[in-house]
Amino acid sequence: MSDHVQTSGQLGTTGSYALQRNRVLRNTYWLLALSMLPTVLGAWIGVNTGITASLTGGLGLIVFLGGAFAFMFAIEKTKNSAAGVPVLLAFTFFMGLMLSRLLAAVLGFSNGSSLVMTAFGGTAFVFFVMANLSTVIKRDLSGMGKWLFVGALAIFVGAIINVFVGSPALMAAVASMAIVVFSLFLLHDLKRIVDGGETNYITATLGVYLSLFNVFQSLLALLGLFGGDRE
């Protein structure tokens, strides 16, 4: 009798754990899809108004870093309240605005639209692969986090240096490294949700969104560097 009760309790705990994990994963995917709307809106406004065209060099870096870190701090503070989702969506609008300078530059090529669609398709493919791997891989990937953080830090430093150097070769190297690192970050974050290590869907969405944003931006930069047609 006691064995039956204990087994039933374990099954109940396992069932509630699975329900919570599935709920976080489902809400993360829904919020991620919703976050694309303000991102596209921000990018569209930025491209069509040129509002971010003057944000070059050090000024652009200061505005981007200041805005991004302020929003991420606000998201962390509001993630457990009703304000969390609107703050996250405002952040994705800001990121769309910041992306508009690169988009405008790529769209200036005669094949710019196809390059943007290629970058979008490549990002969607990365997401599809990593989302599926996160459900197939049984190994604990939490140990990847510290190495990926080091990689992200190296990318960050390289990107800052290139703001002042303006080297296409360094830009290509940073973008290539970013695609690899943030693709793995995507896998790491999705696996954490699947394993139950992340229980807040707003925090989960922020991590997945940032990885996808960086993969898309890096793919677009590489395509603009090597595939842009000025004719």
Please tell me the predicted confidence (pLDDT) of residue 11: 42
Identity of the highest mean pLDDT range in 5-19, 48-62, 166-180: 166-180
pLDDT, tens digit (0-9, with 9 covering 90-100), for 113-165: 999 999 999 999 999 999 999 889 888 888 888 899 999 999 999 988 988 88
Please tell me the predicted confidence (pLDDT) of residue 15: 62
pLDDT, tens digit (0-9, with 9 covering 90-100), for 67-90: 999 999 999 999 999 899 999 999
Please tell me the predicted confidence (pLDDT) of residue 231: 61
Assess whether pLDDT exceeds 50 at residue 42: yes
One-letter identity of residue 12: G
Q: Hey, how many other C-beta atoms are within 10 angstroms of the C-beta on 23?
A: 12
Assess whether pLDDT exceeds 50 at residue 4: no
Assess whether pLDDT exceeds 80 at residue 7: no
Phi/psi at 29 (nearest 5 deg)? Answer: -65, -40
Assess whether pLDDT exceeds 60 at residue 13: no
Q: Hey, how many other C-beta atoms are within 10 angstroms of the C-beta on 7?
A: 10
Q: State how far the Cα of 71 lies from the Cα of 94, in Å rounded to an integer.
A: 9
Burial of 172 (0-12, 13-18, 19+ CB in 10 A): middle
Nearest to 192 by CA among 215, 213, 211, 175: 211
One-letter identity of residue 204: A
Q: How far from chain centre, in Å, is Cα 39?
A: 12
Residue ranges of the domains in the chain?
A: 2-227
Per the CB < 8 A criterion, the answer to whether 171 and 220 are in contact is no
Average pLDDT on 181-203 reads 90
One-letter identity of residue 53: A
Round the average pLDDT of the chain to a whole number and report it: 87
